[in-house]
């Protein structure tokens, strides 16, 4: 074996320039060539024959190749015994190789590359091993330097403040963490392998960008732009993007792209643009001056307000705008405050380019540099001419009526206090005249508020001319005027003024092609007899005015204490009536209506009754006027309609073919939707409109002929009967009367009571019957109490009658019992109605 080993070793390593040594199966060094001696500094004499072949390389003992040879499984054990340093050689089959650093070899250490190969005999048995050594220190140093460079580049790549991506065929092959951060991804790996389409707001944007960008790469070798891209969550992000291809001839083959997040810069840019826009388009005039107080910039509002163009003021001192209204002390105080507090604000008068002096609200701020020195002054001002005018107007309106310009209650109170003080010293009287226009609501309701306002202005103008310059004419609101008379020698002087007022209102007023007649009711209260303070005297004048209205309107009344008692009673009655509906204190009574020829009942009139829970019944003559005056007639009238329809339904269910009517007030005609109310109740009850007749007074129809005609036409089309109640007591024109679609006229009881004994009443009753015949209307007489009255009316052609002769007002159940069966009481072919009659 020895000879064989020596023979083979001689053939392999003798004279080889490669450092080589050989071990036998006893792991003794058999050969150590000259190259080994030179490399590791150990001579052949020192190591040949020993089993410490690794001693030159490692300070501790290591397993030797002989151990591997002896084990017979060198191919398996080499990597294990050498702690993973040996690995199968890629260049020499059947051999193993390893690399290691030896710090004590050479100068500063040496990297060696080991190659181990088994030596076999002719039978294939391993009899030793040969190893070669190669100094790879320079290569390792080069690799280290390269790795350091790569590591440095990796650090730069990974920590760059811009996003970097290597893209091929529009697919991200590699990118750094900042790239992922800019676009809202958790890591760079989220982007690797994905198309860049994910960075764009839409597929169309991606396609269009691709065409443009790669054309630039190919034609100019780079691309540079600002682009709006999309983050992972869909939010937009502005980026500055730069790209270069690895090969400009094949831009899709690979390119490097750098992305910078410029969202903040874009926001700042937008803010600067917005600031510029705000500066230029601000409603306030803005002016910037330098530290020497010379104008450096103004906006368009400055030009609009002052009349100066920017070119005319830049470089000038703001003093060119002075009006001359402020003295030097004013400006000195301004500058002292400005420099001490860095701000001054106030109102100042300046002059426009055209010489006009105007008020403005000015605010000046000081802008200082880091050293605290003045860098700029910024002034902002607005023209407050309109505000000043508005303030003056507001002060005027605080003491005057906006519509007429007359003093209001507040100013009237002040003037009364001054006049009362003077009257106490002179012993003279004062008078308050409370004036309320008659029927003014009719104008508003029928012709509209613009016409009503114009009428009030016309009345105010007439009253001004009727009074002395020392008297105060004021408007409290609505159609209420109050006149304060000073220097009243005696109470009768107020009567003279009241008569002048009546005279000045006599002539009609033409407004919007409407000729309107006006009148007023006046109440007079005298100081100090009726009161010594303003509120007391005003209240008593108001009370006296209401007394004038009750006396027929168009007149005047002095106050006396009995008026207070009556006003108090009216107030109590109003409050009690307001509660009556909710407390079920109202009811309807029904009075039969008969055919004067047959004597049969054909219908009934419903009469409103009020019986308080804690008192006696209240006469309709007392509470109906209160309901009309307060507006309570609207809810009460609606209740009457509902209750009457329900009773009509009971009649219909009982087979009684009777007619019922509803006498509605003017407020229901002009201030509510009567047609809609009737339609809603009719739908709820199922009562046919033909069973119902609506009654209205003459005065109601004549308040607004046009509006009344519209309502009556709608009621007629709906199938309701229509009648005029109390006919002959009003002032209706027959020319208007024929235009209304009426079915029936009702002769008022005042003409029926003495129709048999009074020739005038008989003539009026007969005339009404003849008018009805000529207009093809039916006639019913109210208040028929005797057979003689009934006979006379029947003889002159009156169709129907109603009164105590035929039956007093009775409860619904009593009327139904009296009617009995339909066959004996109904009068076919005749219409009837249900109405509210306050006087019955």
Mean pLDDT (whole number) for 812-838: 53
Asked if the model's pLDDT at residue 341 lies above 50, the reply is: yes
d(CA 205, CA 34): 73
Mean pLDDT of the chain: 83
Q: Is 220 exposed, middle or buried (0-12, 13-18, 19+ CB in 10 A)?
A: exposed
pLDDT-derived band at 351, boundaries 50, 70, 90: very high
Cβ neighbors of 273 (< 8 A, separation 6 or more) are none
- Which token pair is 789? 């009255």
Greatest Cα pair distance in the chain: 182
Q: Are 208 and 217 in contact (CB under 8 A)?
A: no
Asked if the model's pLDDT at residue 559 lies above 70, the reply is: no
Place of tokens 């193993």: 96
Q: Is 156 exposed, middle or buried (0-12, 13-18, 19+ CB in 10 A)?
A: exposed
Phi and psi at 207, nearest 5°, equal -65, -45
Assign a CATH topology to domain 398-559: Alpha-Beta Plaits (3.30.70)
d(CA 689, CA 679): 9
Q: Are 380 and 362 in contact (CB under 8 A)?
A: yes
Q: What is the pLDDT of residues 220-264, one digit of tens each?
A: 989 999 999 999 999 999 999 999 998 888 888 899 999 999 888
Asked if the model's pLDDT at residue 71 lies above 60, the reply is: no
d(CA 251, CA 244): 8
Element (H, E) at 487: strand 480-488
Mean pLDDT (whole number) for 442-454: 82
Architecture of the structural domain at 160-267: 2-Layer Sandwich (3.30)
Q: Are 135 and 157 in contact (CB under 8 A)?
A: no
d(CA 610, CA 73): 130
pLDDT-derived band at 2, boundaries 50, 70, 90: very low
Place of tokens 């450096």: 296
Pick the CATH number of 2-142 from 3.30.470.10, 3.20.20.80, 3.30.450.20, 3.30.300.30: 3.30.450.20
Report the percentage of the chain scoring pLDDT > 90.
36
State in Å, rounded, how far the first CA of the chain is from the last one.
Answer: 158
Asked if the model's pLDDT at residue 70 lies above 80, the reply is: no
Asked if the model's pLDDT at residue 6 lies above 60, the reply is: no
Q: Are 661 and 782 in contact (CB under 8 A)?
A: no
Q: What is the pLDDT of residues 387-441, one digit of tens each?
A: 888 888 888 888 899 899 999 999 999 999 999 988 888 888 898 999 998 878 7
DSSP state of 271: H
CA distances from 30 to 73, 183, 816 (A): 21, 68, 150
Question: Would you call 249 helix, strand, or coil by DSSP?
Answer: coil
Q: Fold identical between 398-559 and 576-825?
A: no
- Which token pair is 130? 């040969």
d(CA 522, CA 538): 12
pLDDT the model gives residue 569:
66
Architecture of the structural domain at 576-825: Alpha-Beta Barrel (3.20)
Print the SS3 string covering 86-131.
CEECCCCCCCEEEEEEECCCCCCCEEEEEEEEEEECCCCCEEEEEE
Asked if the model's pLDDT at residue 5 lies above 60, the reply is: no
CA angle 57, 125, 34 (to 5 degrees): 35
Chain centroid, CA 697 distance in Å:
49
Mean pLDDT (whole number) for 488-514: 83
d(CA 503, CA 519): 9
Q: What is the pLDDT of residues 262-296, one digit of tens each?
A: 888 888 887 777 767 777 777 788 888 999 999 99
Mean pLDDT (whole number) for 819-835: 42
In sign, the C-alpha dihedral spanning 142, 143, 148, 151 is: positive
Q: In DSSP terms, which residues pair with 601 in a beta bridge?
A: 594
DSSP state of 292: T
Q: Are 348 and 376 in contact (CB under 8 A)?
A: no
DSSP state of 468: -
d(CA 323, CA 385): 15
Count H helices and E strands in the chain, helices first. 31, 31
pLDDT the model gives residue 81:
42
Beta-strand runs (E) in 294-427 = 295-298, 343-351, 357-368, 374-383
Phi and psi at 754, nearest 5°, equal -110, 30
Assign a CATH topology to domain 282-389: Beta-Lactamase (3.30.450)
Greater pLDDT, 525 or 830: 525
Report the percentage of the chain scoring pLDDT > 70.
87
Q: Where are the domains of the chain?
A: 2-142, 160-267, 282-389, 398-559, 576-825
d(CA 249, CA 247): 5
In sign, the C-alpha dihedral spanning 297, 301, 307, 309 is: positive
Q: In DSSP terms, which residues pair with 129 in a beta bridge?
A: 23, 118
pLDDT-derived band at 199, boundaries 50, 70, 90: very high
d(CA 74, CA 129): 10
d(CA 5, CA 786): 170
d(CA 207, CA 385): 59
pLDDT-derived band at 7, boundaries 50, 70, 90: low
- Which token pair is 453? 């306002």
DSSP state of 703: H
Q: Which of 164, 156, 172 is nearest to 242 (CA)?
A: 164
Burial 677-699 (b: 16+ CB within 10 A, else e): bbeebbeebebebebbbbbbbbe
DSSP state of 616: P
Q: At what angle do helices 633-653 and 674-685 cross, to 10 degrees?
A: 30
Print the SS3 string covering 667-693.
HHHHCCCHHHHHHHHHHHHCCCHHHEE
Q: What is the pLDDT of residues 705-745, one digit of tens each?
A: 777 888 889 999 999 999 988 776 655 556 667 778 888 88
d(CA 830, CA 127): 149
Mean pLDDT (whole number) for 11-40: 79
pLDDT-derived band at 146, boundaries 50, 70, 90: confident
pLDDT the model gives residue 3:
53
Mean pLDDT (whole number) for 312-328: 91
CA angle 380, 381, 384 (to 5 degrees): 160
Q: Are 288 and 315 in contact (CB under 8 A)?
A: no
Question: Would you call 829 helix, strand, or coil by DSSP?
Answer: coil
Question: Would you call 382 helix, strand, or coil by DSSP?
Answer: strand
pLDDT the model gives residue 80:
42
Q: Which of 24-38, 497-511, 708-722, 724-738 has the lowest mean pLDDT?
A: 724-738
d(CA 387, CA 568): 47
DSSP labels for 617-637? PBPHHHHHHHHHHHTTHHHHH
Element (H, E) at 480: strand 480-488
Q: Which of 66, 190, 159, 56 is nearest to 116 (CA)?
A: 66
């Amino acid at each position: 074996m020895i000879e064989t080993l020596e023979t083979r070793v001689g053939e392999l390593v003798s004279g080889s320039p490669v450092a080589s040594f050989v071990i036998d199966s006893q792991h003794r060094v058999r050969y150590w060539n000259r190259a080994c001696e030179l490399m590791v500094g150990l001579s052949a004499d020192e190591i040949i024959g020993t089993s410490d072949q690794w001693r030159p390389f490692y300070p501790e003992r290591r397993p030797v190749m002989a151990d591997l040879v002896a084990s017979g499984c060198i191919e398996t054990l080499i990597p294990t015994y050498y702690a993973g340093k040996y690995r199968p050689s890629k260049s020499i089959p059947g051999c193993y190789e390893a690399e290691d650093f030896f710090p004590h070899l050479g100068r500063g250490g040496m990297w060696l590359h080991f190659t181990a190969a088994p030596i076999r005999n002719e039978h294939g048995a391993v009899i030793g091993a040969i190893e070669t050594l190669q100094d790879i220190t320079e290569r390792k140093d080069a690799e280290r330097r390269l790795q350091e460079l790569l590591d440095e580049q990796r650090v730069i790549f990974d920590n760059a403040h811009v996003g970097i991506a290597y893209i091929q065929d529009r697919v991200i092959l590699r990118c750094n963490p900042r790239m992922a951060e800019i676009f809202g991804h958790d890591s760079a790996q989220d982007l690797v392998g994905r198309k860049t389409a994910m960075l764009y707001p839409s597929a169309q944007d991606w396609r269009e960008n691709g065409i443009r960008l790669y054309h630039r790469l190919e034609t100019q070798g780079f691309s540079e732009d600002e682009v709006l891209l999309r983050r992972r969550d869909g939010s937009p992000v502005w980026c500055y993007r730069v790209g270069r291809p690895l090969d400009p001839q094949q831009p899709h083959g690979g390119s490097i792209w750098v992305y910078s997040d410029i969202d903040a810069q874009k926001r700042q840019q937008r803010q600067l643009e917005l600031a510029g826009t705000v500066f230029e388009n601000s409603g306030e005039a803005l002016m910037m001056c330098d530290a020497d107080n010379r104008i450096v910039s103004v906006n368009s509002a400055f030009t609009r307000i002052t009349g100066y163009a920017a070119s005319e003021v830049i470089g000038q001192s703001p003093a060119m705008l002075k009006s001359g209204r402020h003295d030097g002390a004013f400006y000195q105080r301004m500058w002292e405050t400005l420099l001490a507090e860095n701000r001054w604000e106030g109102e100042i008068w300046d002059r426009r380019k055209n010489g006009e002096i105007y008020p403005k609200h000015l605010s000046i701020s000081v802008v200082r540099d880091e050293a605290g020195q003045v860098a700029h002054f910024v002034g902002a001002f607005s023209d407050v001419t309109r505000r000043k005018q508005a303030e003056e107007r507001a002060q005027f309106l605080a003491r005057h009526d906006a519509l007429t310009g007359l003093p209001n209650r507040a100013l009237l109170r002040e003037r009364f206090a001054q006049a009362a003080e003077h009257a106490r010293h002179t012993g003279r009287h004062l008078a308050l005249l409370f004036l309320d226009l008659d029927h003014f609501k009719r104008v508003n309701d029928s012709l509209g508020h613009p016409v009503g306002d114009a009428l009030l202005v016309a009345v105010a103008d007439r009253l001004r001319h009727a009074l002395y310059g020392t008297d105060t004419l004021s408007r409290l609101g609505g159609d209420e005027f109050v006149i304060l008379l000073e220097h009243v020698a005696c109470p009768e002087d107020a009567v003279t003024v009241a008569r002048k007022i009546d005279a000045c209102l006599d002539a009609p007023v033409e407004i919007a092609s409407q000729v309107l007649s006006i009148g007023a009711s006046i109440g007079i209260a005298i100081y100090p007899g009726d009161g010594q303070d303003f509120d007391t005297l005003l209240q008593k004048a108001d009370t006296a005015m209401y007394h004038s209205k009750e006396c027929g309107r168009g007149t005047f009344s002095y106050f006396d204490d009995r008026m207070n008692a009556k006003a108090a009673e009216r107030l109590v009655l109003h409050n009690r009536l307001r509660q009556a509906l909710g407390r079920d204190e109202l009811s309807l009574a029904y009075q039969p209506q008969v055919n004067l020829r047959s004597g049969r009942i054909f219908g009934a009139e419903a009469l409103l009754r009020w019986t308080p829970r804690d008192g006696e019944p209240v006469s309709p003559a007392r509470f109906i006027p209160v309901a009309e005056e307060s507006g309570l007639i609207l809810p009460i009238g609606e209740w009457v309609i509902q209750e009457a329809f329900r009773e009509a339904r009971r009649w219909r269910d009982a087979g009684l073919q009777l007619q019922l009517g509803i006498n509605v007030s003017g407020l229901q005609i002009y201030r509510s939707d009567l047609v809609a109310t009737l339609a809603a109740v009719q739908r709820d009850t199922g009562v046919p409109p033909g069973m119902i007749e609506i009654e209205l007074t003459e005065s109601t129809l004549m308040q607004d002929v046009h509006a009344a005609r519209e309502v009556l036409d709608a009621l007629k089309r709906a199938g309701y009967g229509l009648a005029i109640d109390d006919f002959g007591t009003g002032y209706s024109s027959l020319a208007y009367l024929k235009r209304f679609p009426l079915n029936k006229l009702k002769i008022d009881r005042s003409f029926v009571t003495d129709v048999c004994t009074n020739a005038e009443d008989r003539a009026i009753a007969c005339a009404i019957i003849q008018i009805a015949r000529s207009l093809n209307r039916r006639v019913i007489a109210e208040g028929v109490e005797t057979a003689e009255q009934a006979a006379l009316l029947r003889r002159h052609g009156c169709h129907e009658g109603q009164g105590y002769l035929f039956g007093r007002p009775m409860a619904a159940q009593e009327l139904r019992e009296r009617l009995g069966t339909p066959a004996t009481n109904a009068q076919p072919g005749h219409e009837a109605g249900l109405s509210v009659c306050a006087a019955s």
